[in-house]
Amino acid sequence: MSVIRLRGHHLLCLLGYRGMGYSEEYVENMTRVYVTLNRDGSTVVELVEGPDDLCAKFPCSGDYHCQNESVDARDKAVFRKLGLHVGDTLPWQGVLDRIRAFTQPGDIATLCESCGWRSYGVCEEGVGLVIQGLPLPDLERKASK
């Protein structure tokens, strides 16, 4: 079983992922990670500082924000909120359990204040689903296309 390397804010981004992204290659990669984690909550996640397995497919065109200070600050804030640290490894279900215990949908407004994707409201929705113990949307069909 492979380990999925994720930075702090991507733990929340994955909850709000609905198949949108920066490029086709980025969407394919994020969909693959999303489906893997949602299919098997025992999938191991390694928490990293800086670019992770999702950043690996960020398109070369445009602003590569994966190393911006504001993104690093967002990662640290999410780790603090969840009581996690760079270098921790845990199953995806453990991440979801911490989100359920330590966050509310309204936390997205503070933790992800400067994120351009926040206006869609899907991250708040995802946090709400996790808190209620409900499944995240099924994107598996999209991944198999």
pLDDT digits (tens, 9 = 90+) for 16-27: 999 988 889 989
Q: Which pTM value belongs to this model?
A: 0.91
Q: Is the model's pLDDT at 28 over the cut of 90?
A: yes
In the predicted structure, residue 143 carries a pLDDT above the cut 80: no
Q: Could you give the count of Cα atoms lying within 13 Å of 108 in the half-sphere of its Cβ?
A: 25
pLDDT digits (tens, 9 = 90+) for 102-128: 999 999 999 999 888 899 999 999 999
CB 59 within 8 A of CB 26: yes
Question: What is the mean predicted confidence (pLDDT) over 65-92?
Answer: 91
| Phi-psi label, residue 138: left if phi above 0, alpha if psi -120 to 50, beta otherwise | beta
pLDDT band at 39 (very low <50, low <70, confident <90, very high): very high
